Amino acid sequence: MLPRGIELERLGVRFDEPEHRLDVGKRGPVCFRRRAHRVAHDHAPERERHAPQPLDVELARRLTGDGVRVVRDAHLGTGISKSLLVDWTRLAPQQVADDDPDAVVMFIGANEGFPLKAPGGGKSLNCCGPDWAAAYANKARAMMAAYRRGGRARVYWLTLPTPRDPARAKIAHAVNAAVRVAAEAYRAQVRVLDMNALFTPGGRYRAAMPVNGTDTIVREPDGIHLNETGAGLAAQHVIAALQADFTR
> Mean of the pLDDT values across residues 142-162?
96
In this prediction, residue 229 has a pLDDT band, given cuts at 50, 70 and 90, of: very high
pLDDT, tens digit (0-9, with 9 covering 90-100), for 100-136: 899 999 999 989 999 999 877 778 999 999 999 999 9
For residue 20, the model assigns a pLDDT of: 40
Task: State the virtual CA torsion across 109, 112, 117, 151 in degrees, nearest 10.
Answer: 0
| CA separation, residue 230 to residues 10, 55, 195 (Å) | 30, 9, 10
For residue 3, the model assigns a pLDDT of: 33
Q: Domains of the chain, with CATH numbers?
A: 19-246 (3.40.50.1110)
| Main-chain dihedrals φ then ψ at residue 170, nearest 5 degrees | -65, -40
| Main-chain dihedrals φ then ψ at residue 68, nearest 5 degrees | -90, 130
Q: Give dist(CA 217, CA 34) in Å, integer.
A: 35
Q: Give dist(CA 21, CA 11) in Å, integer.
A: 25
For residue 122, the model assigns a pLDDT of: 76
For residue 52, the model assigns a pLDDT of: 57
For residue 1, the model assigns a pLDDT of: 33
For residue 247, the model assigns a pLDDT of: 78
Residue 104: strand, helix, or coil: strand
Q: How do strand 103-107 and strand 70-75 relate by DSSP bridges? A: unpaired
> Mean of the pLDDT values across residues 143-165?
96
pLDDT, tens digit (0-9, with 9 covering 90-100), for 25-68: 333 345 554 322 222 222 233 344 455 578 888 888 888 766 77
In this prediction, residue 154 has a pLDDT band, given cuts at 50, 70 and 90, of: very high
pLDDT, tens digit (0-9, with 9 covering 90-100), for 57-84: 888 888 876 677 888 888 888 999 998 8
- Decide: pTM greater than 0.85: no
For residue 73, the model assigns a pLDDT of: 83
What does pLDDT average to over the chain?
80
For residue 248, the model assigns a pLDDT of: 64
Please give the share of the chain, as a percent, with pLDDT higher than 90: 61
For residue 237, the model assigns a pLDDT of: 95
